[in-house]
């Protein structure tokens, strides 16, 4: 092989490798880490919530005792029960998620809407009815979003995928408090 052909082949290999690296870098910069909600809370909060006090099983859904205020008024007998109560209102976060691009499934709790069903400010929550029909999830299980384009919401039962950069920021509203905020890039109908 002549020296010119060898140099041309070497240049083509370098150019191709550079192109592949550039495309791969660009692809990685737009990738989102798909997360589950429990990844946003410290393990000890999760453990506490998974071990509720026994008397809670005796409370009828929707009754006067089925509220956070009622729970706050109850004196707790032991450290396990106290820890459960703390986890219900925990704003403790996972610092490693700050400024990370994530993809998370969830439901919308509208805070502000424009003309009809276009929602521009909302909480994202892990399950339907959170904040509306029952006590809200802990703040570390609520994500605040302000999205100028708005999201078309046909029904509160609709689940979505939310993609964007998550930041640690506490936002309070009469419907709940969030420990995270999402700078939303896009929202898609939920499909497994």
**pLDDT score of 60:** 79
Which of 7-11, 66-70, 78-82, 178-182 bottoms out in mean pLDDT, i.e. has the lowest? 7-11
Mean pLDDT of 123-141: 81
How far CA 111 is from CA of 36, 116, 137, 141, in Å, comes to 23, 13, 16, 17
Beta carbons of 184 and 163 less than 8 angstroms apart: yes
Reduced to 3 DSSP states, what percent helix, strand and coil does the chain have, rounded to the nearest 5? 35, 35, 30
Q: What is the pTM of this model?
A: 0.76
pLDDT digit string (tens) for 96-109? Answer: 999 999 999 999 99
Beta carbons of 122 and 101 less than 8 angstroms apart: no
Q: 33 has which bridge partners?
A: 102
**Rounded-to-integer distance, Cα 23 and Cα 16, Å:** 10
**pLDDT score of 73:** 66
**pLDDT score of 128:** 83
**Vertex 110: Cα angle to 125 and 174 (nearest 5):** 85
* Residues in the chain, overall count: 192
Structure tokens at 58: 């005796």
Per-residue pLDDT band at 142 (split at 50, 70, 90): very high
pLDDT digit string (tens) for 73-86? Answer: 666 678 888 999 89
């Amino acid at each position: 092989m002549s020296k010119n052909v060898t140099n041309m082949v070497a240049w083509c290999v370098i150019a191709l490798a550079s192109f592949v690296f550039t495309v791969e870098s660009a692809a990685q910069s737009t990738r989102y880490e798909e997360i589950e909600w429990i990844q946003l809370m410290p393990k000890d909060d999760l453990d506490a919530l998974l071990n509720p006090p026994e008397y809670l099983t005796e409370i009828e859904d929707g009754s006067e005792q089925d509220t956070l205020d009622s729970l706050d008024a109850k004196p707790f007998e032991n450290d396990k029960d106290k820890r459960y109560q703390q986890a219900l209102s925990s704003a403790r976060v996972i610092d490693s998620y700050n400024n990370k691009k994530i993809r998370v499934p969830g439901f919308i709790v509208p805070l502000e809407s424009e003309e009809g069903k276009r929602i521009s400010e909302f909480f994202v929550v892990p399950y339907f009815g959170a904040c509306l029909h029952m006590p809200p999830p802990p703040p570390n299980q609520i994500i605040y979003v302000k999205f100028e384009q708005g999201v078309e919401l046909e029904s509160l039962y609709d689940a979505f995928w939310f993609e964007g950069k998550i930041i640690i920021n506490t936002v309070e509203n009469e419907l709940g408090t969030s420990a995270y905020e999402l700078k939303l890039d896009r929202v898609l109908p939920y499909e497994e």
